[in-house]
Amino acid sequence: SFYQLNTENLNSSMVVSSAKLLSAETYGSDLDCSHTWPVTAKWTDGIGDGTDWNSQPGVIQSIQTMDPKSAGSGCGTQDVDFNVTSEMQSTAKNNDTQWTFGRYGDESDLPDSSCSPSSSYNCGFMRFNNNPSVTTVFDIAPDVPASTTTTPASVDNGVATGPGCGSSTIGWIGATDLGANNGSQVTLNTKLTSNIVGEHVRAEYTIWDNSIANNPVGSNVVANPDSAYVSSGTTVDTPVGITLHNGHAYGWRVAAYDGILTSSDAPDCHFDVDTTPPTVPTVTSTTFPASGSHPASPPVTGTTGTFSFASTDPVPTGCVSTCLASGVGRYEYSFNTPIPTSGASTVAAGGTVSYTANRWGTNILYVAAVDNAGNVSQTRQYDFYVKWNPEATVTAGDVNGAGVPDLLETNTAGELL
């Protein structure tokens, strides 16, 4: 007997782990219920218009031979199942929409002393049900994890760079963002998607430290955190769980795992760590020399000049290869009031700051260096003296030298505005 089954629901994205051809013997010509007879399942060519007893499908390969007891006539139905795992694996791989098999029994005639009441009898003749089926156990690997990020986000000179995946810019994580736990709570984030309805999936990470070995991923793997199993479409935030070291360069990758299959890896991502602040900046100004330098001709009110700053970002030690420092990215500064905690005036490293001195007496410049990881140096206080310009036009009520009268009042803290 030959059957052609519909296999269009199998496809190459599926990984078949087991498959069983289910059928049942409903009648056997051997009337002794204790006797067994062979039946062999074979993978065959398809059934066509010309298929008949004399033009049977060709055999591709033999699958398995079973030896069921005789059925019917008081013996009952006998289940006869075949292992067709490799056949379904091949069918899925090739995206075949149909699969044909044949069942072959013992065709020999035996004398009545062997099995039957007649003198010549096909004792191995069997009848089977006409609704065989294949039960296939399969899985489909989860999608490659998407939307990979870190929390906190890495930065470069105050600008978020993203997670440094693929060819994108690798950013820095500084001391403030690492927090009190030395970075162990920095999280690696990704969105997980399963391809099986109701199936849960988890993220499996590999983290390596490029500063302790020259091989990008090898003996330098420092952690393998996993997320919890979550439903499809969930974004997981998984702590790295290790101390992150100053001056080190880290890489990480993630794959999704559903308990059976693992997705391909998402593109490798990277971040660098810098927890050392820059040195206290030095200040240079030809026009406004520092107080106590006794210039021959002190600047007077109304004079405009420039200031330049210099600082370095120390490179830590202790790496197999050279440790990293993010470098000074900018300076924050303020004149005559301390630098505010937010919204401070800034100038890029290497730039100059122009200032017009309208206030006579001692002026104060406050300046701090900020590296590309966001670490802030101690503040430099630069005092310089500006004398009154005797040729300046005096405007009654002008306090700040702007040439127009000013209105003075106090705020709730008692400060004069």
Residue 162 is predicted with a pLDDT of: 80
Tens-place pLDDT, residues 45-97: 999 999 998 999 999 999 999 999 989 778 899 999 999 999 999 999 999 99
**Mean pLDDT value across residues 149-172:** 89
Amino acid residing at 89: Q
Average pLDDT, the chain: 91
Residue 286 is predicted with a pLDDT of: 94
- pLDDT value at 42 more than 80: yes
Strands 39-44 and 269-274: unpaired
CA distance 52 to 74: 32
Residue 377 is predicted with a pLDDT of: 97
Tens-place pLDDT, residues 200-254: 999 999 999 988 866 666 678 999 999 999 999 999 999 999 999 999 999 999 9
> Nearest Cα to 132, choosing from 179, 100, 157?
100
CA distance 414 to 376: 31
- pLDDT value at 114 more than 80: no
- In which band, very low, low, confident or very high, does the pLDDT at 307 lie, cut at 50, 70 and 90? very high
| Partners of residue 303 on adjacent β-strands | 357
Q: Looking at per-residue confidence, does 146 or 167 come out higher?
A: 146
pTM of the shown model:
0.77
Residue 293 is predicted with a pLDDT of: 86
> Residue 40 in contact with residue 80, Cβ under 8 Å?
no
Residue 118 is predicted with a pLDDT of: 63
> Residue 126 in contact with residue 37, Cβ under 8 Å?
yes
- In which band, very low, low, confident or very high, does the pLDDT at 370 lie, cut at 50, 70 and 90? very high
Amino acid residing at 395: T
Residue 413 is predicted with a pLDDT of: 86
| Element at 90 (helix H, strand E) | helix 85-93
Task: Give me the percent of the chain exceeding a pLDDT of 90.
Answer: 69
CA distance 71 to 9: 33
CA distances in angstroms from 327 to 260, 281, 374, listed in the order given:
46, 13, 10
- In which band, very low, low, confident or very high, does the pLDDT at 108 lie, cut at 50, 70 and 90? confident
- In which band, very low, low, confident or very high, does the pLDDT at 378 lie, cut at 50, 70 and 90? very high
| Partners of residue 59 on adjacent β-strands | 44
**Mean pLDDT value across residues 118-144:** 89
**Mean pLDDT value across residues 7-24:** 93
Q: Looking at per-residue confidence, does 283 or 169 come out higher?
A: 283
